[in-house]
Each structure stands twice: as C-alpha cells, then as structure tokens.
Amino acid sequence: MTIDFGKVDQSTEKNFKGGEKEVYLRSFSDGKVKIMQITIPKGATIGLHRHIGNSEEIFVVKGKGHFLTEGIREDVSAGAAYYCPEGSEHTFINDEDGDTVFFAVVPQHDVR
C-alpha cells in the first residue's frame, strides 16, 4: 500500500501533546498503526508524553533537533532514525534555524 502524504490533508496542531507553538501534521491510520508526517517549525516542540500500549519509530527527513527520552538528550538530523519503546516518555524540541520534518510510525501493541 502506498501512502502519498502530498495528497493527505494537513492539519495545524497547536500545543501538540502539550508542546510549545504549533506543528503541521499529515496522518494515516488503519486502526492498528498510525503513520504521520510531522513538520516542526523553529522554536516548536512536541510535548512530553509516554507510550503506553504502543511504541514510536521516527525517521528524520529534514532539519535537526533533539529528543529528550527519560531526561536524556538525543540529537537528531536528517537521515537519523529514532526509537521510543513502549513505556518510555519523550519530547521533541526544534531549537535549530529551520523546520524539522520527520515520519513517525506508531504501532499498537497486543494487549494480552
């Protein structure tokens, strides 16, 4: 299945997950997996949140920034992959000069 994010409506999310400013989001979900293209402008953040019942895999395609995962800073730039396992808490901060764009995949985990 191909998902053309250029044809997916973009939404503006103010204070995404409790973050600062606004981010731009294009999203697809089949009910078990959510795939998002997220643009984070300079100075914007994604708020601190914990992954319960899911994890998150991210691939940065443009720009730079950093994640804080369980309080540990992890710098990323275009070409980097990042993983937040189930049960972990993280945030993203774009304190660089331009936009940061990444794709995020959030699969739901089986609950037994």
Query: What three-state secondary structure class fits 95?
Result: coil
Tell me what the mean pLDDT of segment 42-47 comes to: 97
Residues 60, 66, 71, 72: what is their CA dihedral angle, to the nearest 10 degrees?
80
| Number of helices (H), then strands (E), in the chain | 0, 10
Structural domains in the chain, CATH included, are: 10-107 (2.60.120.10)
pLDDT for res 62: 97
pLDDT for res 111: 60
> What's the Cα-to-Cα distance from 28 to each of 7, 33, 37, 106, rounded to whole Å?
11, 8, 9, 11
Reported as a single tens digit per residue, the pLDDT across 53-95 is 999 999 999 999 999 998 899 999 999 999 999 999 999 999 9
Beta bridge partners, 26, equal 37
Q: Within the chain, what is the greatest distance between any pair of CA atoms? A: 45
Reported as a single tens digit per residue, the pLDDT across 22-39 is 999 999 999 999 999 999
pLDDT for res 110: 78
Residue 40's pLDDT band, with cuts at 50, 70 and 90, is very high
pTM above 0.85, yes or no: yes
